[in-house]
Structure 1
Amino acid sequence: MAMAGLFFNACQQIDSKDDLPNVVIIHADDLGWKDLGYMGSNFYETPNIDKLASEGLIFTNAYAAAANCAPSRACLMTGQNTPRHGIYTVTPSARGDKRTRKLIPVANTDSINPNNLTLAHLFKKRNYRTCAIGKWHLSSTPENNGFDINIGGDMRGNPGHDGYFAPYNIANLSQGPRGEHLTDRLTSEAMQFIRQNPSKNFFLYLSYYSVHTPIQGKPALVEKYKKKKGSEGQNHPVYAAMVETLDTNVGKLLDEIDQLKTNKETIIIFISDNGGIRKISHQTPLRAGKGSYYEGGIRVPMIIKWDGKIKPGKTDVPVVNYDLFPTIQNILGVTDVNKNLDGEDLRPVLENESLPKRPLIWHFPIYLQSYGGLKDQSRDPLFRTRPGSVIRLEKWKLHKYYEDNQTELYNLKQDPGEQHNLVSEHSNKTTELLQLLNQQLEDLEAPIPQRKNPHYDAEYEVSQIQKITHN
């Protein structure tokens, strides 16, 4: 408890900008829950992130607020669940063959409203220098949403064809020498930003495009992993090369912070925006991957390090990425903010305590087409996601689907792979969670898709499912 008291007192005694910590969020893209050494992978080599994990607090039950890029990032930036800002997916919301969609999905919003408070605005209230480097995906530029500096960010969600090697395809980034690697370049820009702000508080949002598709690795590293034995589901040499390059650059950034003697006053947060793509990398024992609301699509790696304030270790408390907003808000001592926040202040968890019992809610009134058919481990082979909502309360997780009004109930403590639907065995728990879910959705004013799709063709849908399942 001594460490807990140290953290609490440090937060309470912040009276001026000189007492405030720098904050660095390192945001990986499509990096799966088990794609790191410290999380159990024996194939990917991540010594630098593993070292960060040994020095920080590891969250084994950390979640993205959505199963794909844009909505998850919007939740992180605003502290709000998806119905608050209306970003449910990467447009369009009507993915997949229209003949296999029973409902008309809810319309999607592309960008964070400029009037919506973001993490960057919080820092600006405390006179921080704010910088976004890399993938943004939430408006034409993060400068519209509270950032002073934008390097390499716009509405683009990936670096484009051959995009990891210069000449680059992305906006707001000057060209590098031919063959320069994008992940290396973004780290160099981040290190330069840190050097330029030795005396002023800064917030750095370093959002790598990696390891999002296109899957492209440095040739020497690809050859290295071709010679290394993998395991079933984690044996992709090009993807492994991308993971190692990401890890190397995280190490460079952390070394820079250490060399500038800012590590004692810098909070470092490492997190992925959603689960990994299952046809590229399995997250066993978790089911499915990016785009699915089974655990493999939404559970993510997350580490928070603050030397001298947070004791290294692990916590299995369920948390979600929009919890970071109220946590940072309270560390900064900012009070005049948007009150419609859906996250919880994580400081009790950082103090080696727990949080009050609370439900976690996901709402996805949209469609996401299949990546790999049966390999996706989704509910059906045509879609990673069909319209529905999910609630987790302690060990229980319930899925509700709007096309057929069906539910699934899982005990995550006994069945993290969500293989055994317990609806019939636990009807009372199912009813309890359904009622709680409906109340939460009502409080969020979440739109529920109800209109029938006139293009839906049941016979065609069945034929397409049979075609996949019989191959």
Structure 2
Amino acid sequence: MPTIEAPEHVTEPSRRSVLRGIAASALTLTVAPSAIARADATGRRRPNIIVVSIDDLGWDELGCYGNTFNETPHIDRLASEGLQFDTAYAAAPLCSPTRAALISGLFPARTGITDFLRGEPAPSDKRLSTDIRTVPDVLGPYGYTTGLIGKWHLTERYSGDYRSRPGNPYAHGFDEVIASEEKYIGDGDYFHPYFFMPDLPAREPGEYLTDRLAQETVDFLGRHRDEPFFLHVSNYAVHTKLDAKPDLVAKYSAKPGAKDSPNRPLLAAMLESIDDQVGRIAATLVEFGIARDTLLFVTSDNGGPYRDANAPLRGGKGELYEGGIRVPLIASWPGTIQPGRHDATPTSTIDVLPTALDLAGGRPGREFDGESIAPILTGRGRVRRDTLFWVYPHFIGSTHPHAAVRRGRYKLVQYLRDGRTELYDLARDPGETTDISADEVVTERILRALLRAHLADVDVLPPPPSRGAYPLRELEETFDGDLSRWETLPVGAAFGEVAVRDGQLAVTASRMSHLVFRSDVAPSSDEVAIVLDTGTFAESGTQDTVFVGLAKDADNYLLFRYHNGLHRVGWDLRIDGALITAGGEPLGNLDGSVDLAGPAARYAFVLRGTTATAYADQGSGWQFLYSVDVGGAIDLADPAVRASYRYAASVRLDDGTITLDGITAHRAARRHRGHH
């Protein structure tokens, strides 16, 4: 595949091109004038950095980590001749946030990417902002050529000219981008023609994607053998759906134990192809005479998705237990790394970029969340890492939003809805089988405080709708008067009766009726909290549902709903009459756990930018429920768009009467730090 040339014009300008055009004085803040030379002050060549990432590879799927079914001789040899990390972590339990962390050196929450990015039909439109400094910005001034071969998955834009898509790797300054997905990569595709790369011609008949990435890597090394480079070889394998070469599948299917858990012949076959890829890369470095000039990492973007294969670790992909974030990490650097070493220092994906900068001759500092592990690699020192954090404020599978912190031997996991915590001693209990929070009260309090401070620092969730966070009143309706300031908008055919009596809005119907009550007040900020005080529910029929949020008219609204009969919460985004909810998180995990029929129950819609967050108070205080980003469908951060929407409540029922006690809206006094 010919290398795609860097674009002349992109939607988000390449910050690297800007940096290289800035006067030298701007660079001397962090880079000496001689830094762009290919060698450092001692005359030694600046090391090349290659990161081979394997998608969804569990921590013990490699032979060097103890697997006896899969065959990975090339990677195992790199481990025996190099350094194997025994306590390495991914920065997140899923791919996109870990990839953002790898190229930025930041915790995913700081990049705005905390979940896997969805396909283009999703209402969101997220991408890794070019306001964030990434590998080309950091290493480019030191003379590094930067390349990406394979998976990017840091933008939700999959149409239009690739080089003009917001958040594309060229906009971040990568010099070469090869075999990166043009379409959404869900369900995988490993034999040519690739559905997510329709414009990529095959280089050989029956081409297998992992082999193609290997050949592209060999070609890249040939082009840049005489200059320092940073290359991310970003595999699509072994992500589902699994698919491998038939001869390798047959080989592993015939092995003893092939049908026994946790062995998976198809995964083993895919992994052998990746092992061959890594072996080919290592051999090419030797052939070109640059093996001693190259640091080669092999790792994974998150824990394995198969819980049985992660044992004795708990959990898997999508979870912040060890099985979801513990990953393999192998470092090879002949002549520098002493062979056969193991190291138990906790490391993270966020350490890759500061390590590369350190080895390039720079001085990584507080601009990164990660730390340089160069002293471990060279054997010249230790890294005294104090604390690692993870935040996953989303639903996937059966997983609820949660966060975690590890400090020393202890790890605390906290569920974001109600603040419930679990504490584990990883030295004694690596499988996280026994919660010791009741026995280690002081440790639990210390780690809880650390995590609370971190959550505030990264500002990943808007604050719940307290008057302290949202002090400025915009709307207060207690239904003590008439509805003269409200417009009643039927969604579909209009049925039912509406009345205001005894401080309540009452809707009565004997057939399906959905009414939106639109106020005459538009939100004056994109940081507002709207609170619906629920009243009584019909407790009959099939649609015992209330809503709160923003509405433009009956065909355009964003409303959070609560169905009392099912104790179910969710959201409806309607644009020009069509419901836009594709790709949403599986909020069914909350079914049966929310009850807003009590006398003090409240349901809140909290807007910040293009993201709205639901909080519920069931009578004992606010609890986080879920967030939804709708920036791809409606940009409520845009004042012109927001001006056409009004605070709104809604009722949908088919039998009986539903009452509402009131609705209020308040805005924040100022924009919060970390607003994305």
| TM-score for both structures, normalised by structure 2 | 0.59
2:474 matched residue in structure 1: none
Residue number among 311, 317, 324 corresponding to 1:297 in the alignment: 324
Percent of aligned pairs sharing the same letter: 35
Instruction: Name stretches of at least 5 consecutive residues in structure 2 with no aligned partner.
Output: 1-38, 156-164, 466-530, 532-559, 569-587, 594-676
Residue number among 65, 82, 88 corresponding to 2:108 in the alignment: 82
Rate the CA distance shift 1:145–1:242 in 2: closer, same or farther, 3 A: same
Residue number among 219, 224, 248 corresponding to 1:197 in the alignment: 224
1:97 matched residue in structure 2: none
- In structure 2, distance between residues paired with 1:169 and 1:16: 49
Is the strand fraction higher in 1 or 2?
Answer: 2
1:134 matched residue in structure 2: 150
- 1:358 equivalent to 2:465? Answer no
Contact 2:402–2:415 (Cα < 8 Å) also in 1: yes
- In structure 1, distance between residues paired with 2:429 and 2:44: 48
1:373 matched residue in structure 2: none
Partner SS for 1:391 = strand
Partner SS for 1:30 = coil
- 1:218 equivalent to 2:325? Answer no
Once the two structures are superposed, the pairs formed by residues 226-237 of structure 1 within 5 Å of their partners are 226-230=253-257, 232-237=260-265
Q: CA RMSD in A?
A: 2.7
Residue number among 401, 409, 412 corresponding to 1:398 in the alignment: 412
Contact 2:86–2:343 (Cα < 8 Å) also in 1: yes
Contact 2:346–2:385 (Cα < 8 Å) also in 1: no
Residue number among 127, 136, 140 corresponding to 1:111 in the alignment: 127
Contact 1:151–1:173 (Cα < 8 Å) also in 2: no
- In structure 1, distance between residues paired with 2:366 and 2:306: 37
- In structure 1, distance between residues paired with 2:452 and 2:82: 37
Rate the CA distance shift 1:196–1:408 in 2: closer, same or farther, 3 A: same
Partner SS for 1:325 = helix
Contact 1:65–1:71 (Cα < 8 Å) also in 2: yes
- 1:61 equivalent to 2:84? Answer no
Residue number among 256, 262, 270 corresponding to 2:290 in the alignment: 262
- 1:23 equivalent to 2:49? Answer yes
Rate the CA distance shift 1:326–1:456 in 2: closer, same or farther, 3 A: farther
- 1:148 equivalent to 2:175? Answer yes
2:234 matched residue in structure 1: 207
Rate the CA distance shift 1:214–1:386 in 2: closer, same or farther, 3 A: same
1:284 matched residue in structure 2: 311
- In structure 1, distance between residues paired with 2:589 and 2:204: 52
1:367 matched residue in structure 2: 395
Contact 2:354–2:372 (Cα < 8 Å) also in 1: yes
- Which amino acid counterpart does residue 29 of structure 1 have in structure 2? D
1:174 matched residue in structure 2: 201
Higher RCO (C-alpha under 8 Å, 6+ residues apart): 1
- 1:123 equivalent to 2:151? Answer no
- 1:253 equivalent to 2:267? Answer no
Contact 1:60–1:314 (Cα < 8 Å) also in 2: yes
Contact 2:90–2:98 (Cα < 8 Å) also in 1: yes
Contact 1:283–1:289 (Cα < 8 Å) also in 2: yes
Residue number among 378, 383, 401 corresponding to 1:387 in the alignment: 401
1:39 matched residue in structure 2: 65
Shift of 1:443: 2.7
Q: Deviations over 1:421-447 (max 9, x none)?
A: 111111221111101111222233332
- In structure 1, distance between residues paired with 2:181 and 2:441: 47
Shift of 1:109: 6.9
Contact 1:132–1:207 (Cα < 8 Å) also in 2: yes
- 1:323 equivalent to 2:351? Answer yes
Contact 1:65–1:320 (Cα < 8 Å) also in 2: yes
Q: Say which is worse superposed, 309-318 or 232-241, in terms of deviation.
A: 232-241
Partner SS for 2:331 = strand
Contact 1:89–1:108 (Cα < 8 Å) also in 2: no
- In structure 2, distance between residues paired with 1:109 and 1:392: 32
- In structure 1, distance between residues paired with 2:402 and 2:426: 19
- Which amino acid counterpart does residue 407 of structure 1 have in structure 2? T
Contact 2:117–2:153 (Cα < 8 Å) also in 1: no
1:102 matched residue in structure 2: none
Shift of 1:463: 11
- In structure 2, distance between residues paired with 1:450 and 1:69: 29
- In structure 1, distance between residues paired with 2:312 and 2:326: 12
Contact 1:167–1:178 (Cα < 8 Å) also in 2: no
Contact 1:136–1:157 (Cα < 8 Å) also in 2: no
Partner SS for 2:327 = coil
- Which amino acid counterpart does residue 230 of structure 1 have in structure 2? G
Aligned residues: 424
- 1:408 equivalent to 2:422? Answer yes
- 1:439 equivalent to 2:453? Answer yes
Instruction: Name stretches of at least 5 consecutive residues in structure 1 with no aligned partner.
Output: 1-12, 94-106, 371-382, 467-471
- In structure 2, distance between residues paired with 1:71 and 1:155: 19
Q: Deviations over 1:108-162 (max 9, x none)?
A: 773211232112322321222222101111135321212111111146563756x
- Which amino acid counterpart does residue 435 of structure 2 have in structure 1? N
Partner SS for 1:390 = strand
Shift of 1:204: 1.7
Rate the CA distance shift 1:78–1:456 in 2: closer, same or farther, 3 A: farther
Contact 2:169–2:177 (Cα < 8 Å) also in 1: yes
Rate the CA distance shift 1:48–1:158 in 2: closer, same or farther, 3 A: farther
Rate the CA distance shift 1:438–1:204 in 2: closer, same or farther, 3 A: same
Contact 1:90–1:110 (Cα < 8 Å) also in 2: no
Partner SS for 2:452 = helix
